[in-house]
Amino acid sequence: MKDSVKMIAFLLILSSILAAALTAVEAVTKPRITRNEELKIKRNVLAALGVACDEAARESTFDATVRVVEKGGRKFYVTADKTVAFSIQGAGLWGPIQGILAVAPDGAAVKGITIVHQEETPGLGSRIAEAAYLAGFQGKRLLPRIVITAEGAAATDTEVDGITGATLSCQAFGRILNSEAAACLPMVKEVQQ
């Protein structure tokens, strides 16, 4: 009995000290972590919008070219020529996929896509996040819907190549694009005003 009291007391004290230390670490690193996440979103928004900028000038470029509009609980990033970017997310094959989709001024064609976060199979499904693959979406039409075909089979302007070996990840990404486009394209029209 005495043993267990001693054990509980020891563990309580140890955990309290460590918890206090962790709280301090959290407090010190929090501002930097939040800032890193914001920078990451800004970098991806600019990349999706096709705005070239170097690393150092990223924030000023972002502030100068992008107007942030909140609508329906989402953030839309609007440029002067009415290209609109917004974040998309949904279930990939293994985990959530998050990205930024930029829509051309006509409100239907893809201007650019970046992937912010994915957990697909490294070396196979993870290839959907490669710039070379995402470039294949540029100019494709989100309406009525994007169709992912076999690699090299895309013919029309709503068809996009899949990747052999990453078929399911590509299909999942296509589904995310279609459902997010369906949800957001009507709002894109409004924020363009």
Partner 1 sequence: MNLRRLLGKERYKTLLKGVWTEHPISSMCLGICSALAVSNKVENAIAMGAGVTFVLIATAVMVSSLRKMIPARGRMITYMVTIASFVIVVDKFLKAYFPVISETMGPYVGLIITNCILMGRAEAFYARNPLGLSLVDAVANGIAYSYTLTGIAVVREVLGFGTLLGMRVMPAGWENWVVLSLAPGAFFLLGLFLWITRTLAGVEPPREG
Give contact residues for partner 1 (rule: CB under 8 A). 3-4, 6-7, 10-11, 14-15, 18-19, 21-22, 25-26, 28-29, 32-33, 36, 40, 119, 122-123
Q: How far is the CB of 76 from partner 1 (least distance, A)?
A: 25
Q: How far is the CB of 153 from partner 1 (least distance, A)?
A: 23
Residue whose CB is less far from partner 1, 6 or 67: 6
Residue whose CB is less far from partner 1, 116 or 172: 116
Helix/strand/coil (H, E, C) string of the chain?
A: CHHHHHHHHHHHHHHHHHHHHHHHHHHHHHHHHHHHHHHHHHHHHHHHHCCCCCHHHHHHHHHHHCEEEEECCEEEEECCCCCEEEEEEEECCCCEEEEEEEECCCCCEEEEEEEEECCCCCCCHHHHHCHHHHHHHCCCECCCCCEEECCCCCCCCCEEECCCCCHHHHHHHHHHHHHHHHHHHHHHHHHHC
Q: How far is the CB of 70 from partner 1 (least distance, A)?
A: 25
Residue whose CB is less far from partner 1, 25 or 150: 25
Q: How far is the CB of 88 from partner 1 (least distance, A)?
A: 19
Residue whose CB is less far from partner 1, 98 or 192: 98
